[in-house]
Amino acid sequence: MEKGYGITTWWMTLRCGHPEWLVETEKLYRQVCLFYYNLILEEGIVDGKGGIQQMQREAERLTIRGRDKKEPVRPLPFEKVPSYFRRSAINKAIAAARSQKARQYAGRSEALEAPVTFFKGMYRELTGQSVELKVWDGEKWRWLHCRLKGKPFPEVCQLMSPSAVCEYGRWMLHVPVRQETEDARDARSRMAAGERICSLQFTNTDAFAVCCVLDGAGTLLKVKFIGGGKEYQHHCRRLEEKVKRSWGAMGYGEKGPAKGERPEGQPNKKYFLHLKHLGEYYGHKASKEIVEFCREQGVKVLVMPEYEEGYSRMVKVKAGNYSPLHLGNRIREYVEYKSWAAGMVVVKVSAAGTSGMCSECGAQVKREGEKTSGELVVCVKGHRKNRFVNTGVNLGRKCLRGFGEKKPGMKGKAAVDEAAGNEMG
């Protein structure tokens, strides 16, 4: 079987004799991040043709004395910062500046919250048991020996730049692990081999996602609801209430300060960070459940629906910011990278035409009991089904049809190109 590579993150607990040096290092790192973050925004360093590398060079040119020995325009106000420490911080600052554009509040604090990523030269002798990190003790740089604990690294893999993360007072090392996947065939050869597929639907109910496993002929084999949506929404609402009350107490309206207005000291930062962590937690939990279920079921291709942009925006606005459906985006993202290492590929198929017909007879369906749960559809012949399962099965079959129609060396129909062109990896 053809092999390929995927990247997953290993979480290790970290113990060392001088955790206060890690704290110092993180403090310095965040100062450097913040310096570059402000520089990027103030100097208007934006994405250009050269991408992130060009932005890095531009940020360094303005702050570091080059070969020409000329004084930089805005010298880095910290001494003795190793170049790879600086570069790592610049990368974080660029990422934060990019996401800042898309958000109103969290962006700025995120730049400050970044964990230290140790680029090459800043760590050595990384094994499953220990690592040496180059840290700032407040006065000088030194090597710190750290013990690690966690599940062992795969036998064959490549370890990438680790990050030291402090979670609830405990230090962890996050290590991206590049490894061979079990199966690197592309979607087309998997479909041609008649492998099982799993069609996913993301919902705004208690089920973050509904998984429908189909065999290569389109027969529905198994359904799984990935729960937790209500719990997630409940936690989010409580935090949102706190934010509202807090804005109110400060004399703003419930929605807080107007866009562009910045209250002093980021008063609700802790709530927004908590909301962000909730999203990450539930996103990881749900995506892990999906990938594990699919692996158990012998699924080789994951099918995800793709919507027209205007339509998804409208639906998401209706569902709200901290809704299960909104988190669906993050879950999709996580599923994509986790599934690759688990030997599966993701295919995106246009959702057009998948919800309106009965998956049993093809007749038109309509929603039933909209005022109650609204989760059932019924067709004119009386087939009654969960609407997410009905749509999921239709989507899975649309994908199977798309690949089935395409003959090698011939141009297929639009649906085929769409299905094949969007596959991952």
Chain residues 295-324 in contact with Zn ion, contact rule CB under 5 A: none
**Quick one: 363 or 376, whose CB is closer to Zn ion?**
363
Q: Of 32 and 393, which CB lies nearer to Zn ion in the complex structure?
A: 393
75: region left, alpha or beta (phi > 0 left; psi from -120 to 50 alpha): beta
Please, which residue, 190 or 398, has the CB nearer to Zn ion? 398
CA-nearest of 181, 126, 178, 158 to 14 is 126
Q: Give the total of residues touching Zn ion (CB under 5 A).
A: 7
Among residues 83 and 364, whose Cβ is nearest to Zn ion?
Answer: 364
Report if residue 358 touches Zn ion, rule: CB under 5 A. yes
The reply on whether position 368 binds Zn ion by CB under 5 A is: no
Determine which residue in the list 132, 182, 360, 368 makes contact with Zn ion, applying CB under 5 A: 360
The residue among 289, 314, 369, 321 whose CA lies nearest residue 106 is 321
Least Å distance, CB 375 to Zn ion, is 17
Cβ of residue 413: shortest distance to Zn ion, in angstroms? 25
Q: Nearer Cβ to Zn ion, position 219 or 321?
A: 219
In angstroms, the Cα distances linking 103 to 27, 92, 225 are 24, 16, 31
73 binds Zn ion (CB under 5 A): no
Query: CA torsion angle for 368, 352, 334, 385 (degrees, to 10)?
Result: 30
Tokens, residue 115: 């964990």
Complete edge-to-edge strand list for the sheet that includes strand 384-386 = 365-368, 376-379, 384-386
User: How many angstroms separate the Cα of 231 from the Cα of each of 27, 252, 323?
Assistant: 35, 29, 10
Smallest separation (angstroms) from Zn ion to the CB of 358: 3
- Candidate list 12, 173, 209, 379; residue touching Zn ion; CB under 5 A: 379
Contact residue for Zn ion among 206, 383, 404, 422 (CB under 5 A): 383
Identified binder of Zn ion from the candidate list 145, 313, 366, 381, rule CB under 5 A: 381
Question: Please, what is the minimum distance in Å from the beta carbon of residue 354 to Zn ion?
Answer: 15
Distances (CA, A) of 411 to 142, 275, 406: 61, 47, 7
Phi and psi angles of residue 265, each rounded to the nearest 5 degrees, phi first: 70, 15
Does 12 bind Zn ion (CB under 5 A)? Our answer is no
- Cα(274)–Cα(168) distance, integer angstroms: 12
Q: Which stretch binds Zn ion (CB under 5 A): 132-140, 147-155, 219-227, 360-368?
A: 360-368
Min. distance of Cβ 365 from Zn ion in angstroms? 7
Minimum CB distance to Zn ion, residue 180 (Å): 45
18 contact partners, CB below 8 Å, separation of at least 6? 135, 137, 144
Smallest gap, in angstroms, from Cβ of residue 393 to Zn ion? Answer: 12
d(CA 297, CA 291): 10
Which residues contact Zn ion (rule: CB under 5 A)? 358, 360-361, 363, 379, 381, 383
